[in-house]
Structure 1
């Protein structure tokens, strides 16, 4: 599908006005990206799925053209945002595809709203609380962003290093450029609230994820330095019946780094549930 045919929609939610890009027809498939990325993280999925699904790309709270964040949020509120999006679009259910932040709250949504989800594909995510490194480094990064307001260069490299592995940095300059551009567009205050809510202050969701009864595919990137394979495997093990896959050559943004491989995994998982 031509991405220019995606329609912009706006939905008022508990976390402000959310911008969506909606296109295609068929069963709904909602995509929620990582921190510091907007809905176009999923451009490679639009091209593949919009001929068969109603594709909904979310600019998450405080990102892209969604309303700025003015305070921290909870994962339960993020899951409620998904419900409000579905209600506004007249959708009873959706398949949910999430990366990092999207993967974490995709699990929250599946646990809390099982009647409104089909399959869930949770990529580059965790169900565990923040370890010492995330509790120390990310508040410092958020504070530095405030102090260096308007001076983005020094802040971009740590994000590139956290999000992309050696394969993408060495062989995929278009991916590096996309992450660079996305990070530079995030408003400092919104980014700070989101980073603190999703990384150092995130909840331990392992017990909650044990309540999930819908089909879940968990995907890890072998080069992911933010949520290494072992941590994402713990998330998969917390979800009854979840399938776990490790992608070679992928780091923290698998859908952007390896779109064809991710699309094939989603198709295969959908077929297995039909």
Structure 2
């Protein structure tokens, strides 16, 4: 049973290009990608459950549920074959979606994604874990802390994708990250090598190349989509 409708921004015509944002963000953060790619694609940027203008709903707040939300969203729009680009946690959702519903995908772009929580460099992940512990304690006495606990919990608990699962994913995939990404370089390289259809691209920049280095990012993604 579908409990919510996801909010989205749409622009352009052509092959659908669906964009999934990161943890705590919303679809509008892709403004530079929406304007750029809408010249050649039907760009659809989605607000994940409990993010932006999409309601939280009553179902579990997990990446697995976000995968089902995406499938329901695509089915509702009648989209059966898309290009999918996910950034950070959105990349993790995109990866899980591709593993479960590969028939929906033409091509896949994973930006700053990680197949497991420890793929994130310790100096970034440790503060996240500490924040989760604090919010978990606060949520016992303050209901307002529950949503923050859920949000941070996604980065602490998920995803948990085994390498042998990635070997099965034959969808052409671009794994793209910054050379100073919060996801470890070794982890990113291993992720790309684990995908039979994987291609790796490392750009100058940090975790947020999709925003800060958007021109180079868009060019690289554009070349992959058109190849």
Per the shorter chain, which TM-score range? Answer: 0.7 to 0.9
Cα deviation 1:37-63 (Å, max 9, x = unaligned) = 111221100111112211111111211
Deviations 1:109-163 (A, max 9, x none): 11211110111110001113436947754242134457789xxxxxxxxxxxxxx
Q: Aligned partners of 1:191, 1:255: CA distance in 2, in Å?
A: 24
Answer whether contact 1:129 1:205 (CA < 8 A) is retained. no
User: In the TM superposition, what is the alpha-carbon distance from 1:99 to its structure 2 partner?
Assistant: 0.5
Give the TM-score taking structure 1 as reference length. Answer: 0.72
Unaligned runs of 5+ in 1: 1-11, 150-186
**Distance in structure 1 (CA, Å) of the matches to 2:91 and 2:147:** 20
Corresponding position of 2:7:
19
The ranges of structure 1 where at least 4 consecutive aligned residues each deviate by more than 4 angstroms after the TM superposition are 69-72, 131-136, 145-149
CA 1:109–1:31: 2 relative to 1, 3 Å: same
Q: Which has the higher contact order (CA 8 A, sep 6+)?
A: 1
1:267 and 2:227 matched: no
Output aligned runs, 1:66-77, within 5 Å.
Answer: 66-68=54-56, 72-77=60-65
Q: TM-score by structure 2 length?
A: 0.86
SS of residue matched to 1:31? strand
* Unmatched tracts of structure 2, length 5 or more: none
Counterpart among 78, 81, 100 of residue 88 in structure 2: 100
Q: Deviations over 1:58-114 (max 9, x none)?
A: 111211111136675343322222111111112111100001111112111112111
**Where do 1:1-274 residues align within 5 Å?**
13=2, 16-68=4-56, 72-130=60-118, 133=122, 137-145=127-135, 189-225=146-182, 227-248=183-204, 250-272=205-227
